[in-house]
């Protein structure tokens, strides 16, 4: 079963990569771009066949390894 984990910086945490992307977009002539936040998407192929168990396993993986709970939040969805 495929699971997607999206990890983003928490609100209020500095995001230098997002700022650099926003600045570059402005330099390229893309007007009207507000705040930009950059994160990561991790797709996992799990042997689990039960969607709830797969989601629970991916949430545990995110808490323990994929996201830094101090500065990042995450969302898990069945893909």
For residue 5, give both structure tokens: 């984990």
pTM summary value? 0.90
Using one digit for the tens of pLDDT, what is the confidence trace for 34-61? 999 999 999 999 999 999 999 999 999 9
Best CA proximity match to 35, nearest among 17, 53, 50? 17
- All domains of the chain, ordered by start, with CATH? 2-28+35-78 (3.30.1280.10)
CA angle, corner 64, sides to 71 and 7, nearest 5? 45
Using one digit for the tens of pLDDT, what is the confidence trace for 60-73? 999 999 999 999 99
Alpha-carbon radius of gyration of the chain: 16
């Amino acid at each position: 079963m495929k699971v997607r984990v999206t990890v983003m910086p928490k609100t209020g945490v500095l995001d230098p990569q997002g700022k650099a992307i926003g600045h570059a977009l402005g330099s390229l002539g893309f007007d009207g771009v507000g705040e930009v936040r950059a994160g990561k998407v991790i797709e996992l192929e799990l042997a689990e066949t039960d969607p709830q168990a797969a989601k629970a396993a991916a949430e545990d993986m995110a808490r323990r390894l994929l996201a830094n709970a101090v500065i990042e939040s995450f969302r898990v969805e069945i893909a």
